[in-house]
């Protein structure tokens, strides 16, 4: 009988060891998910430069969340500059191309940033690209 009790004890110890190992693995996975969530919320520095007939913004350097689309930036700028709803605002990355409205800021930053900033030129009429 003592053999079966010790066997049960060993089985319980092994099971508890396995359960704690699974919890640790899950805890690490949760920790990795939190880190990736923090990366999604990474702030990105952007530099806004006027071009052509665009009004000049008093504040040129901004920090935005990386998961925002470029269309969100354009709408924010239109409100900030108090443009009419029917007025258009064109954004260009590094004076070369206009990104699609659904392009995510982090992607643009990763590909086209210089000196830790993403440079966006803006104007009210088409300029480049």
Reported as a single tens digit per residue, the pLDDT across 24-67 is: 333 443 344 444 444 446 899 999 999 988 899 999 999 999 99
CA triple 70-75-79, angle to 5 deg: 145
Reported as a single tens digit per residue, the pLDDT across 79-98 is: 999 999 889 999 999 988 99
CA triple 112-90-83, angle to 5 deg: 130
123 touches 53 (CB < 8 A): yes
Task: Go through the domains of the chain in sequence order and give each one's CATH number.
Answer: 43-123 (3.10.20.90)
- Mean pLDDT across the chain: 77
Instruction: Give, for 14, the enclosing helix (H) or strand (E).
Output: helix 2-40
Instruction: Please say if the pLDDT value at position 68 is more than 50.
Output: yes
Q: Which two tokens stand for residue 49?
A: 């430069």
Cα(103)–Cα(33) distance, rounded to whole angstroms?
A: 23
Q: What is the pLDDT of residue 42?
A: 87
Q: What is the DSSP letter of 127?
A: -
> 3-class SS at 60?
coil
To the nearest 10°, the Cα dihedral for 24, 28, 30, 33? -170
41 touches 25 (CB < 8 A): no
């Amino acid at each position: 009988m003592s053999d079966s009790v010790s066997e049960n004890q060993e089985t319980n110890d092994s099971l508890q060891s396995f359960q704690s190992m699974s919890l640790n693995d899950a805890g690490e996975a949760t920790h990795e998910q939190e880190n990736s969530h923090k990366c999604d919320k990474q702030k990105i520095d952007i530099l806004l430069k006027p071009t052509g007939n665009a009004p000049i913004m008093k504040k040129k350097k901004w920090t935005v969340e990386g998961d925002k689309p470029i269309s969100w930036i354009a709408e924010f700028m239109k409100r900030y500059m108090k443009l009419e709803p029917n007025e258009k605002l064109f954004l260009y990355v590094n004076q070369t191309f206009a990104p699609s409205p659904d392009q995510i800021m982090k992607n643009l930053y990763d590909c086209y940033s210089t000196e830790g900033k993403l440079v966006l030129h803006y104007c009210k009429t088409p300029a480049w690209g």
